[in-house]
Amino acid sequence: MRKQVLVLVFSNLRHDARVMRQVQFLAKHHEVSLVAFDADPIEHVRLFKINQTKLTVLRKMLLGMALLLRWHKLSYQLFHGYEKTLHNLLAGQSFELIVANDVDTLPLAFSLQGKAKIIFDAHEYAPRHFEDKLVWRLFFQPLNVHLCERFIPKVDAMLTVGKGLADEYEKYFGIKATIITNAARYHEISASEMQPGKIRLIHHGIANASRRLDLMIDMMKLLDDRFTLDLMLMTSNYASGQTKAYIDALKTRAAQDPRIRILPSVPSKEVVRTINQYDMGIFLLPPINFNYANTLPNKLFDFIQARLAIAVGPTPEMAGIVNQYRLGLVSEAFTAESLAEKLKHLTGEDVQNFKQNANKAAALLNAEENEKIFKALVDRLIS
C-alpha cells in the first residue's frame, strides 16, 4: 500500500544526485511530497518549492549577533525561515514518513511531524563540517552541535554516506546510522576506447578554495604530454567573492597549459555519460577537515559507472575501494608531486585494465544495491 512520504532538502535537486535518487526510490512505492529549492518533474512526486533565504546586509548582521550569543532558535529562523511557508503549503496534509536531509532540515521535520516516523540523512558530519575555517567554527559550529544534540536522539532512523561518518555520529550522539553510499545508478555502457599515446584525465565537482583544485594543475606540470586534464566545475549562485576570485585564478593558471581545460558542469543525471569519453577520473583532496578526511563522494562512484580508471589521494575509504577493486592508483601523500609520481609510470595497458575492472565494480557498487538497503529500512518503519 502506497504511503504518504515527505522529503525535505535545502538544495536544488538538479545538482543533488543523492537526494534525487532518494526521491526516485521512494516514489516507486509511495506518494511523495518534496520540499526543495527546485527539481525536475518526477512521477508520483509533488514538488513544493521554497526560496532560499536571501541574506541581506541587515539579516547578516542580525544572524551574526544571534549566532555569537548562541540564540539558536533565532539563528535558525533567520537562516532558514521557511516554517510558516511550509505549514501553509502543506496545510491539511499528514505523512507517515518524513526524510530530512542534512541537519538544517531537522527542526522543520519535527515541526511537521504529526504521527510520522523521521529518517535523518546526514550527508556529512555536521558538527565539523567546515572546521578548517575559523569564522565557521565561531559562528556556525555551535548551532550545528545544538541541532545534532537536540534532534538526532529523537529520529527513528539515520543514514549517512560512509563508515567514518557513521562511527563519529554513533560515538557522540548514540545512534547507529545505516550506510547508504553516494553510488550512482548502474549504467549499461562500455569503457571508451583510448586514444593512442593519450591518457585523458577528468575531475568534476564543486569549485572552492578548500578543495585545492590547484594541486591538480600543479600536477600537470610534472607529467609528460600524454596527459590532458579537464576540470568540469560547478559553482554556486551564492559563491563568495573569495571563491569567485579563486576560480578566476584557476582559469588563469589553466590557460597557461594547453593540456588543461576548465569546462562548465552538466546536470547530475548527465555526468556519467559525459565523462565516459575520458580514461581516468582524478580526485586529490587534502584532509583539512573531518569530512574531507572521511569523504566517499559521488564522483568516485560516477567514475566507476563511467568505466574510468581512478587516481586518488590516500583518503581511507576512497583508497580502500580503489585498491579492493583494482580500479587505479592511490598516491602516497596529498601532494601534486606524489600523485604525479604514480601517474607518470602508467602505461596505456594499465589504464585499460583499470577500466575493465571498473566494469566489474559497476555491477556491485551502484544505487540499485543501495535501494535494497533503503527499502528494507523504510518498510520496517512504515509497513
- Domain-by-domain residue ranges, the chain? 4-183+366-382, 199-362
pLDDT at 111 over 90: yes
Task: Give the separation between CA 228 and CA 194, rounded to whole angstroms.
Answer: 13
Q: Show the cell assigned to 282.
A: 582524478
Q: Which pLDDT value is given to residue 96?
A: 97
pTM of the entire predicted model? 0.92
Q: How many Cβ atoms from other residues are within 10 Å of residue 88's Cβ?
A: 8
Backbone angles phi, psi at 110, to 5 degrees: -75, -30
Q: What is the pLDDT of residues 73-105, one digit of tens each?
A: 999 999 998 999 999 999 889 999 999 999 999
Q: Which helix (H) or strand (E) holds 234?
A: strand 227-234
Q: Coil, strand or helix: which one is 233? A: strand
Q: Say yes or no to pLDDT of 289 above 90.
A: yes
Contact of 41 with 133, CB cutoff 8 Å: no
At 235-282, the pLDDT tens digits run: 766 567 777 888 888 889 989 999 999 999 898 889 999 999 999 999
| CATH 3.40.50.2000 is the classification of domain 199-362 | yes
Region 22-49 average pLDDT: 94
Q: Does residue 351 sit in helix, strand or coil? A: helix
- Does 3.40.50.2000 match the CATH number of domain 4-183+366-382? yes
Tens-digit pLDDT profile for residues 153-186: 999 999 999 999 999 999 999 999 999 999 999 9
- Our measurement of the distance from residue 308's CA atom to the centroid of its chain's CA atoms, rounded to an integer in Å, reads 19
CB 278 within 8 A of CB 201: yes
